[in-house]
A and B are shown apart, each in its own frame.
Chain A
Amino acid sequence: MADVETIAHDVLVIGAGGAGLRAAIAAAGRGVSVGMVCKSLLGKAHTVMAEGGIAAALGNVDDRDSWKVHFADTMRGGQYLNNWRMAELHAKEAPDRVRELEAWGALFDRTRDGRILQRNFGGHKYPRLAHVGDRTGLEMIRTLQDHGIHAGIDVHMECTVITLLKDGDRVAGALVYDRERGRFHVFRAKAVVLATGGIGRAYRITSNSWEYTGDGHALAYRAGAVLQDMEFVQFHPTGMVWPPSVRGILVTEGVRGEGGVLKNRDGRRFMFDDVPENYRNQTATDPDEGWRYTQGDKSARRPPELLTRDHVARCIVREVREGRGSPHGGVYLDIAWIRERLPNAADHIRKKLPSMYHQFKQLADIDITREPMEVGPTTHYIMGGIRVDGDSQMSTVPGLFAAGECAAGLHGANRLGGNSLSDLLVFGKRAGDHAADFASQHGAVTVDPCAVDAAARWALEPFARTDGEGPFAIQHALQETMQDLVGIVRREEEMQRALVALGALQARAARVAVDGNREYNPGWHTALDLHNLLTVAEAITRSAIDRRESRGGHFRDDHPAKDPAAGGYNTVVRRGPDGAMQLAREAIPPVPAELRAVLTEMG
């Protein structure tokens, strides 16, 4: 196409959250030319939302911590479906990545002796999360951004990828449109790093921003790459449910850590009703013991509200489904009750949970020191993604790399809090380094003008349709389908219905029509994103149907137990020669003896 300009780089990074920025900085550091396209403005990516911290075995607070403990914790959390090589590299390299952030200007909270302070978090044996109050994500992205703008990276803001381009088997770049003018641009590159984040927008209730439409997953899939573990989606148990405008926004685990309790419509603490057998002797038997635990009594056991995220989320779903929910379809999270126990409870709550206090006050008119919050599960994170080599982060397509949430492997069946930010840093850097090396070691690529032409024509088709449906209604229907049929509690029959519904939605999306012109047109952008959402929704559904057991983030009502045999494989999907999605089970390579020894040693 004559009107499409071509921009050439050695390495093209797609996405500018933590992983994309870290990859671009790494690649630029190896002296190759680097371009970075991002869907939003620089520094706005979803990484800003992370609150908890960055998991790294620095051992500053408890010197018993080491990479071995972190490795074992990560594998246990992931129920051993993890790519063990990634779990090993992550545990070994995270401390250096955190120290490097400090060298670039990040300011973490400190220990008494002036080192980086670390906090406790679910699933981590020792205090391990480097943090800055409750805004660690902002600190991390701003540090990377402010460092990255001096690293010689060409940044192209508000650009979205339509398709990856290939030269034979190799990746050769991407066709992109800019939001501002709606013009197309070809980025030719010898290596491409995908760092596009997650898929939360496939669900109605999510903590994710609009950008999270599974772009990297879908682009890679269509370019021939393999996706794995797509059935594993993490639902955070406590998101806001009311008012509608804030539905899905996270309510930090810290509320429960400070003594907040979950209650149903009848005021019953339902979490006491369903404590899994294997957690029974670690869980408080009555409210008093639970309260003492939250106040630091080492002889008390944790209240049932602090059981694993997946279990708490399922209990909430059960209460709502059985008609015991709150008026807006959630349950109550009550921290105000602690005034029965503490003299100046209101001040205490405001001091311990400042951002939560502010969030509910400002957005819901609720004073959490006096009234309970309404909460319900929210789609938070996808463990599955693009299958990559553990060392290089290269996908099954030569020259195509992936890092961060859009890549699979590190987290297995469930991710521990805090392991996400460290994932972005460790594997962002690795992907950037290896992409730069790949670009240096391989010759030039050419872009096929016919492929560019075809993709550009496809992207413009919605403008030409006069009788099609608008994109927002289709997106909404897709979100309802996934929320209702492939959500937290899954059943074969419902998921089969979802597959049929997704087929119908694909047909509707193929006829989507948009008004207006190409300049900054959200209707058009949504129409294009729909195809990615539909691809990931299908991958999640097919993978979830195939895994007939419950493990980590994947819970089957019709197969509620864990099946030991299913612990030996990853579910993978790829695009078949006929364009249909093909599913397979791939055996996990055996854990090498030295890592096995670590797992045994750490219990």
Chain B
Amino acid sequence: MGETQSSATFRVWRGDATGGGFCDYRTAVAPGMVVLDAIHQIQAEQANDLAVRWNCKAGKCGSCSAEVAGKPRLMCMTRLSELALEAPVTVEPMRAFPLVKDLVTDVSWNFRAKRTITPFTPRRPDAPDGTWRMQQADVDRVQEFRKCIECFLCQDVCHVLREHHLEEQFIGPRHFVYTAALEMHPLDVADRVPALKRSNGIGFCNITKCCTKVCPESITITDNAIIPLKERVVDEFYDPVGRLVKLFSRRQRP
């Protein structure tokens, strides 16, 4: 095996909440490999206890989020051929969340934040058999948001969380996407707008679009979810009459 051609160095963060640092591992690389393969190979051959989270290895579960060469990525969808392998490739945990160990972070706040959002609340069924009628076009409008795989990479890059740690006042881009999916759901009748303004802190978002750039599902988080939600907030709080009319017509829909 030609040593220089077929191996690369990975500078992997090792440590836990009490501290840690980067460790260099040299490992063989083969065509087609992704970063998660390299990490697994290092784990199997050199560091059995290297902690990493993953499930599907196909970009569908959102478990393997990390920062690769400084960028928030899914490790299973980042091919080595896209990276400069001459120098060590850094692989580190998402920095916005508390560290558990090595590449694994404590993302449980996201699950708690989601629970604070008013769940799906459908209008009364349209048909006597308890079912609804919806048009494909109305369904299509929200499908973009429902593609979310909850990788939390958008939460990781959002400065409101990453730098300012306003977790208690701000639910983050992932949950704006979730709220948008509910608010624009053809059957939903709940009103999440007051909460968006108050406890969910949508005002903290200053539309930097960093979240949109990292989303592996290419969800246009800022333009399609956050900005329309901000508009609803403006309508409701600064144009109460208009909002009432809208609300009324929404509840009347067949």
Which residues of A are at the interface with B, using a C-beta cutoff of 8 A?
40-46, 48-49, 99, 102-105, 107-110, 113-115, 132-133, 135, 138-139, 142, 146-147, 149-150, 155, 157, 180, 209-211, 242-246, 249, 359, 362-365, 470-472, 514-517, 519-524
Q: Any chain A CB within 8 A of the CB of B61?
A: yes
Q: Any chain A CB within 8 A of the CB of B102?
A: yes
Q: Any chain A CB within 8 A of the CB of B44?
A: yes
Closest to A43 in B: B150
Which of B16, B56, B108 is in CB contact (< 8 Å) with A48? Answer: B56
Contact (Cβ within 8 A) B143 A133? yes
Contact (Cβ within 8 A) B135 A110? yes
Known A-B contacts A146-B120, A521-B49; the reply to A40 vs B63 at CB < 8 A is: yes
Which residues of B are at the interface with A, using a C-beta cutoff of 8 A?
16, 30-34, 36-37, 43-44, 48-63, 77, 79, 81, 100-102, 104, 106-108, 111, 114-115, 119-120, 122, 125, 130-136, 139, 142-143, 146-147, 149-150, 182, 185-188
Known A-B contacts A243-B30, A364-B32; the reply to A522 vs B63 at CB < 8 A is: no
With a CB–CB cut-off of 8 A, which chain A residues contact B119?
105, 146-147, 149-150
Contact (Cβ within 8 A) A523 B48? yes
Distance in angstroms from B155 CB to nearest chain A CB is 14
Distance in angstroms from B27 CB to nearest chain A CB is 13
Query: What separation, in Å, do the CA atoms of A499 and B216 have in the docked complex?
Result: 44
- When A and B form their complex, which 7 residue pairs have the shortest distance between CB atoms, in order from nearest? A243-B32, A516-B49, A523-B48, A114-B133, A105-B120, A520-B51, A520-B101
Query: What separation, in Å, do the CA atoms of A246 and B135 have in the docked complex?
Result: 37
Contact (Cβ within 8 A) B122 A105? yes
Which of B53, B63, B133, B139 is in CB contact (< 8 Å) with A107? Answer: B139
Distance in angstroms from A585 CB to nearest chain B CB is 37
Closest to A364 in B: B32
With a CB–CB cut-off of 8 A, which chain A residues contact B186?
107
Query: What separation, in Å, do the CA atoms of A508 and B243 have in the docked complex?
Result: 69
Contact (Cβ within 8 A) A49 B58? yes
Contact (Cβ within 8 A) B49 A524? yes
With a CB–CB cut-off of 8 A, which chain A residues contact B102?
520
Query: What separation, in Å, do the CA atoms of A164 and B186 have in the docked complex?
Result: 44
With a CB–CB cut-off of 8 A, which chain B residues contact A105?
119-120, 122, 182, 185, 187-188
Query: What separation, in Å, do the CA atoms of A245 and B122 have in the docked complex?
Result: 43
Known A-B contacts A146-B119, A149-B114; the reply to A359 vs B58 at CB < 8 A is: yes
Contact (Cβ within 8 A) B50 A522? yes
By secondary structure, the B interface counts as: loop
By secondary structure, the A interface counts as: loop
A-B contact count (CB 8 A): 165
Query: What separation, in Å, do the CA atoms of A114 and B253 have in the docked complex?
Result: 15
Known A-B contacts A99-B130, A520-B100; the reply to A42 vs B111 at CB < 8 A is: yes
Contact (Cβ within 8 A) A249 B57? yes
Query: What separation, in Å, do the CA atoms of A517 and B57 have in the docked complex?
Result: 26
With a CB–CB cut-off of 8 A, which chain A residues contact B31?
243
Which of B48, B79, B134 is in CB contact (< 8 Å) with A522? Answer: B48
Contact (Cβ within 8 A) B54 A210? yes
With a CB–CB cut-off of 8 A, which chain B residues contact A104?
120
With a CB–CB cut-off of 8 A, which chain B residues contact A102?
131-132
Query: What separation, in Å, do the CA atoms of A99 and B130 have in the docked complex?
Result: 8
Contact (Cβ within 8 A) B146 A515? no
Contact (Cβ within 8 A) A103 B122? yes
With a CB–CB cut-off of 8 A, which chain A residues contact B52?
522
With a CB–CB cut-off of 8 A, which chain B residues contact A45?
55
Distance in angstroms from A61 CB to nearest chain B CB is 14
Known A-B contacts A519-B101, A520-B100; the reply to A135 vs B120 at CB < 8 A is: no
Distance in angstroms from A63 CB to nearest chain B CB is 14
In the complex, besides A245-B37, A364-B32, 17 extra interface pairs with C-beta distance below 8 angstroms are A40-B53, A103-B122, A107-B142, A108-B139, A114-B133, A132-B143, A149-B111, A149-B119, A209-B61, A243-B33, A245-B33, A470-B48, A516-B49, A519-B51, A520-B101, A522-B51, A523-B43
With a CB–CB cut-off of 8 A, which chain B residues contact A365?
32, 81
Contact (Cβ within 8 A) B146 A142? yes
With a CB–CB cut-off of 8 A, which chain B residues contact A359?
58
Contact (Cβ within 8 A) A249 B58? yes
Known A-B contacts A44-B63, A364-B32; the reply to A138 vs B149 at CB < 8 A is: yes
Contact (Cβ within 8 A) B30 A211? no
With a CB–CB cut-off of 8 A, which chain B residues contact A364?
32
Known A-B contacts A115-B131, A132-B143; the reply to A48 vs B60 at CB < 8 A is: yes
With a CB–CB cut-off of 8 A, which chain B residues contact A99?
130-131
Q: List 16 A-B contacts (CB under 8 A).
A: A41-B63, A105-B122, A107-B139, A110-B135, A113-B133, A114-B135, A149-B119, A180-B101, A245-B34, A362-B79, A364-B32, A519-B100, A520-B51, A521-B49, A522-B43, A523-B43
Which of A150, A362, A523 is in CB contact (< 8 Å) with B49? Answer: A523
Contact (Cβ within 8 A) B130 A44? no
Contact (Cβ within 8 A) A522 B49? yes
With a CB–CB cut-off of 8 A, which chain A residues contact B63?
40-41, 44
Distance in angstroms from A505 CB to nearest chain B CB is 17
Closest to B141 in A: A107
Which of A107, A243, A246, A516 is in CB contact (< 8 Å) with B143? Answer: A107
Contact (Cβ within 8 A) B136 A109? yes
